Amino acid sequence: MSKLKPKLFSVMKGYTKAQFFKDFTAGIIVAIIAFPLSIALAIASGVAPERGLYTAIVAGFIISFLGGSRVQIGGPTGAFMVIVLGVIAEYGFEGLVIATFLAGIIMILFGLAKLGSVVKFIPYPIVTGFTTGIALVIFTSQVQDFFGMGITNLPGDFLGKWGAYFTHIGDINPVTLGIGALTLLILIFWPKISKKIPGTLVAIVVATALTYFLGLDIETIGSKYGVLASTLPAPSLPSITFDKIKTLLEPAFVIAFLGSVESLLSAVVSDGMIGSRHRSNMELVAQGVANIGSSVFGGIPATGAIARTVANIKNGGRTPIAGMTHAVVVLLMMLFLMPLVQHIPLSSLAAVLFMVAYNMSDLREFKTVLKSPLPDTVVLLTTFGLTVVVDLVVAIEIGLVMSMFLFMKRMSDVSDVSIKKLDFTEETKQETLHEPNQTLPQTQWGEGVQMYQINGPFFFGAAHKFVDAVKSTDNSIRHLIVGMKHVPAMDATAIHYFKSTLKTCESKKITLYITGLKSQPKEALEKAGVLEKIGPNRMFATIEEAVAQVKIEKS
């Protein structure tokens, strides 16, 4: 069970000066990466650039301070871009703040309810589908800034955007494209030159310097957004009413879901890199508090950022001190460097987001899932397509529903009711009952006795097989043995059908015997009063014991 105790309070025992310097250095490097990235993600999400920094500072510090991971770095991520754009378009920035606040509360409840391990069981085709879809949406959203097309009324939908791009392909600004392409090349090739100095920093500095000193006439952060705030705003919240809560509860759940999944995926990845084990429930609580904090300070949704977390690890970060340092350094950079930030060309930020989209898409994994069984491939492509063409909320809802039906179908396929020949003088044989009206063989040792063996989970997707089999029992049968040693669990539907079976047996004057009940099915049937109706003298541990009792009653 995951403890509800921040990792910071555990790892500080035996903390050394040498580790502090490693954490401090890693925190500075991650802050250098996070600073322009947070600005870019804010712009891509349709909010003012500084709001991305508010998120990195407030949420980033809280996630490290309260989180269940040693090395998690929190802040704005590309996964939220689609949902943030949608919420702002429909409800305005005030609606986003309320949705983020509600999402924080939901995530805290997830953690307190010990759902940290449950969230990790989201089907992989859904996660791959919506992350790759989001990556394509991010890429699409940045094409105009990268090529400098200057489209004034860019459509909001995916297909509309590409239609506008092809229509204005002749409006590409070669200077803007040149700066964007240079930034992209530096981002791609700089890691081969140096892994210590972040490529993002080098690319942004070079592009900004060229734009400023050459007086290039291209769009920058300052030309589009004006003077940027260089201090944290005072904490505040818009008026939250019951009607607003009802309206914004759905996007809040989506934000909570995305934040939970991404943060826990990031924590799992980091565990594998440092040989540690995170506290999933504490991580969810921390993520919830961080999103509440971000909304109070005018930020956007936050979660654990895999790329920044990996950068933290590779630069020596091993405790939450590194993440807290990252947040403080981002704050200092905002206080003193914002006048310079205004000169950053938007095409350079678009290039940065191109790289974010590429890394986020993980095309190898997408291709791997495409080679999976057809139903999984359908879930992947459906989730991907709906994310791109419709919206993320619909994509996740449809993807989960499809996965649940797929799971039920698979469980139903592995659960069966078979006829078991009761001849203990030779090896037991089984015949799987495929057709409900199949003629049932008589037992070799006596007339009027039949046995069914239930194999696999006895749940609503498979319970009908048992009912159909019992209803098709020959009228000559007077003793029915039901073997359940291979049933690990049963649900309410199975219990209901079991009661129906009792009535069928009563109407046909059949005596029912149960063998091999495991703890969960036994407890479920006992609470439902089924075992009492069957009677304790009809419950046996093995088939042999039931057969012996049948022989006594037949004699």
Tens of pLDDT, residues 85-133: 989 999 999 999 999 999 999 999 999 999 888 776 788 898 889 889 9
Helix locations, 214-345, DSSP H: 221-225, 242-274, 280-296, 306-314, 320-341
| Residue 440, pLDDT score | 37
By residue count, the chain amounts to 555
**Is the pLDDT at 437 greater than 50, yes or no?**
no
> Which residues does 257 contact at the CB level (< 8 Å), separation at least 6?
119, 396
The alpha carbon of 355 is separated from its chain's Cα centroid by a whole number of angstroms, namely 22
CB neighbour list of residue 242: distance below 8 Å, 6 or more residues apart = none
506 — pLDDT class (breaks 50, 70, 90): confident
**What digits encode the pLDDT tens for the residues 241-273?**
999 999 999 999 999 999 998 999 899 889 989
DSSP 240-277: --HHHHHHHHHHHHHHHHHHHHHHHHHHHHHHHHHT--
| pLDDT cut 70: percent of the chain above it | 94
Q: Is the pLDDT of residue 428 over 50?
A: no
Instruction: Choose the weakest-confidence range: 40-54, 62-76, 531-545.
Output: 531-545
Q: Is the pLDDT of residue 355 over 70?
A: yes
Choosing among 2.60.40.1180, 1.10.10.10, 3.30.750.24, 3.90.1150.10, the CATH entry for 415-554 is 3.30.750.24
**What tokens were used for 516?**
């091999």
| pLDDT for position 463 | 76
Question: Is the model's pLDDT at 282 over the cut of 70?
Answer: yes
Contact 208, 343 (CB under 8 A): yes
Q: Which residues pair with 483 in a beta bridge?
A: 453, 515
Question: What φ, ψ does residue 91 adopt, rounded to 5°?
Answer: -120, -5
- Check if the beta carbon of residue 39 is closer than 8 Å to that of residue 348: no
Phi, psi of 122 (to 5 degrees): -60, 130
Can you tell me the distance from the alpha carbon of 82 to that of 138, in angstroms, rounded to the nearest whole number? 8
At 97, list the tokens: 């703040």
Task: Tell me which DSSP letter residue 126 carries.
Answer: H
Give the pLDDT of residue 120: 65
Is the pLDDT score of 421 beyond 60?
no
Q: Where in the chain are all domains bearing CATH 3.30.750.24?
A: 415-554
Q: How far apart are CA 390 and CA 388, in angstroms?
A: 6
Cα separation, 348 vs 334, in Å, equals 19
* Nearest-5° Cα angle at 69, 65 to 73: 65
Ramachandran angles phi, psi of 327, nearest 5°: -65, -40
Token pair recorded at residue 139: 């890429």
Mean pLDDT of all residues in 401-405: 87
Cα-Cα-Cα-Cα dihedral sign, residues 151, 155, 158, 164: negative
Q: How confident is the model at residue 26 (pLDDT cuts 50, 70, 90)?
A: very high
Task: Say if pTM beats, i.e. exceeds, 0.85.
Answer: no
> Is 509 in contact with 478 (CB distance < 8 Å)?
yes
339 Cβ neighbours under 8 A, 6+ residues apart: 230
Question: At residue 451, what is the residue type?
Answer: M
Alpha carbons within 13 angstroms on the beta-carbon side of residue 98 total 20
pLDDT of residue 462: 73
High-pLDDT (> 90) share of the chain, %: 59
Average pLDDT, the chain: 89
Lowest pLDDT segment from 208-212, 226-230, 316-320, 369-373: 369-373
Residue 386: pLDDT band by 50, 70, 90 thresholds? very high
Structure tokens at 396: 């996740």
For range 448-463, the mean pLDDT:
82
Instruction: For residues 4-22, give the mean pLDDT.
Output: 92
Dist. CA 41–CA 127, nearest whole Å: 20
